[in-house]
Each structure stands twice: as C-alpha cells, then as structure tokens.
Amino acid sequence: MIKNLTLSNLIARLPTDVITNCYPLPYELGNARHQSSNYYYGAIRAMLLDEEVASDVEMRHATAMTVPYMIEGSAQDVAFFQEVTADLDLEALMEQMLAATEFGFMPVELMWEQQGERLCVVNSEQKRPENFRIMTDGSLVYSAVDYTNKTPVTGKVIPVLRKPSSERPYGETILESVWPIWQSKWISWANIERLGEKYAIPTAIALAKEANGDEDLQKIADSLAPVMNGDAVALSGVEEIVTLSASGKVDELLRTIEYIDNKIAKSITGQTLTNGNQKYGSRSLGEVHERAGMRVSKQDARMVYKALNQTLCKWVFIANGREGNIKVRVDEEAYKAMLDSALTTDSAAQTPQSALEFSDVPGKHLCLL
C-alpha cells in the first residue's frame, strides 16, 4: 500500500540545512545503511520527484546523447571491441552513466557472459550510490548484506563521477544549486495545500434555535446539502443561515512557483541568459540558450567518455587476455557542425546531416588509426 504523504511531511523528512552539510565523506565507511549518510541522496531523490526537475534533468541527458563521438583505435582493436559488446546496448549504458550528473556519483554494474572463447558484455544496470564507498586509495567497495565492505570483481562496476576532488570524492551534483530554491517551491505548494483544506470547509452553516436531538440536526443538514448545487430548499427549525468563504492568494503562489521553475530550468540546463533581455530579439535569445545548453551537455558527455576509457575500453581486452587500446572521445568536427547549425534552425537539439554521414548510428563513427 502506498501512502500519500503531504508535502509538509516530505520536507520534514529532509535535512533543514544546506545539502552540502549532508554530503557523504570517506570516513563514513560502514554507515551506508544508516540514516545519517542517506540524507544527501535522499534529498536528491526528493528533488527528482518534482516534474520540473525531472524533465530538466531528462532534457540535459537527451541533449548530451546527441553529442557526436568517435572510437579511436586500430581496425583490429575497434572490431574486437564491437564483437565483445555486440549484445550490449552502448547507448543505454551511456544514459545510465549520465545519472552521475544529478547524483554526482553513479555506479553502473556490467553483466558478462561467456560466448565461445570470448567473455562478452551483454547488459548493464544502475546501482544505488549510497551502497558504495570510495576508499582513500581510490578503490571502490560496496556494502554487502552482512554489513561488511567488499571490493567488486575487476570489470564488474563502472564508477562514474562528476567533478570529483580530494574534498568531494563522490563528485558534485548539478542539483546542489537547485536545493535552496526548490525548498521554497515546495513550501509554496504546502501553502496551496493549506488553502485547499480551507476551501474544503462547509459553505454554509444553519443555526437552529431548538432541535430535538441529533435526528433533527441531521435532517436539517441533509436538507441544506443541495444548496451547493443551486437547488431551492426550505428549512424548518432554523433561525439563521451563515455563509462561509475562504480567502487565499493562490494566484500569487502559482506565479511564485512558475518563477522558481524557470530558475530551476536555467540552472539545470545551463541556459542562463535572462528572459528579460530582448536586445537582440527572441530568435537570437533562443539560439544563445540552445548553444549554452549544448556546451553544458558536452561536459556531461566527456564525463561519460572519460569513465568508459578508464574502465570498459580496457576491461574488454583484459578480460579476454588480449592486447588492445581504444578510446572514446567527442568528435570535435561533427560537434562544431552541430553547434553551428543552431544558428540556422529554430529546432532545439537537432542533429545536422553532416554528423549523421559518419555512420548509420546517429552521433557515432569510428576512427581507425
């Protein structure tokens, strides 16, 4: 059974201070299932329940997936990589890895299968980041069912990190800047809920001077009920009817929420140009917005490619006892063509034909060295 919690209850369960004060640190090893170390990811998941935040994050992921990339390596190495990953949906894997943008840290598990003489990657799956820890030496451990920390088998888990540092080994979430204003939005929604409770009170009250018990009062209430539908009604034993009205500033609250949604969208998608600046016209404004969003998405794509180069691109050769070296990187020429096309089209995130000519797969081609 799913309980429908009110927004005030949702806020009460989250940390009241800034989200950075709840950031997980390496010394919290062993506390993965304790409430004290789940506030950080709990706050992120709460924000992702907001349709505005979720849609903006999805838009950022979708734009990052349009960034054209190339696989560099010898013809033999590239062919071997394609054979070993033939059953793996590489695009789906990249989308799973992009979740590190909102979580800061996203471990992705790889499923391997023996196919003849080769060990092949066949599937991938996101894992819960709070169940993993990064040690001071950079190694990755996970919390087992017996509450002990164990090291995954090499080649099993890809740790994806966004802007990691020695002080923030679990990366930085793009939602950190959204956290303060997002709380203000949900407080506004909570106020609308309170107004809804006020609107739910009876619209009229009958004051009976004398009544013979609860039965007469119930008859009066039943007779008064159709008044809301505009029906005529005659009441006996009633001295006065008092009409009730509820007042509230719903329009102001909705405008506040709309304003906050616009700021959330700009923060997540990277479109920071203010809507009030119309000096260069609406089309120029839209072009700048699109180009800014594409540059932000390029950073996300580079994060994914870097993680792939450090893990999967090496593991496919190591697991099969074969020498080889490949690298995934942004196709700068195709990306520049796609960026320039933003000046000649009103359609956002549209991949140009020049980027599609490299391969049958959009946004991808091979570079043989």
Per residue in 133-191, pLDDT (tens digit) is 888 888 888 877 667 788 889 899 999 999 998 888 899 999 988 888 888 887 887 77
Query: What letter would DSSP give residue 237?
Result: S
Using the structure block, give the residue that is written with the tokens 């303060």: 180
Q: Are 109 and 75 in contact (CB under 8 A)?
A: no
Hey, what amino acid is at 186? Answer: W
Dump pLDDT digits (tens) for 129-145: 988 888 888 888 887 76
pTM of the entire structure?
0.70
In which band, very low, low, confident or very high, does the pLDDT at 344 lie, cut at 50, 70 and 90? low
Q: Are 197 and 6 in contact (CB under 8 A)?
A: no
**Residue 278 structure tokens:** 């119309």
CA pair distance 285, 146, nearest whole angstrom = 56
Dump pLDDT digits (tens) for 64-74: 999 999 999 99
- Cα of first residue to Cα of last residue in the chain, in angstroms, is 58
CA pair distance 85, 117, nearest whole angstrom = 14
Task: Tell whether the model's pLDDT for residue 33 goes beyond 50.
Answer: no
Residue predicted with more confidence, 277 or 217: 217
Q: Are 53 and 175 in contact (CB under 8 A)?
A: yes
Q: Are 195 and 166 in contact (CB under 8 A)?
A: no
**Residue 236 structure tokens:** 């006996």
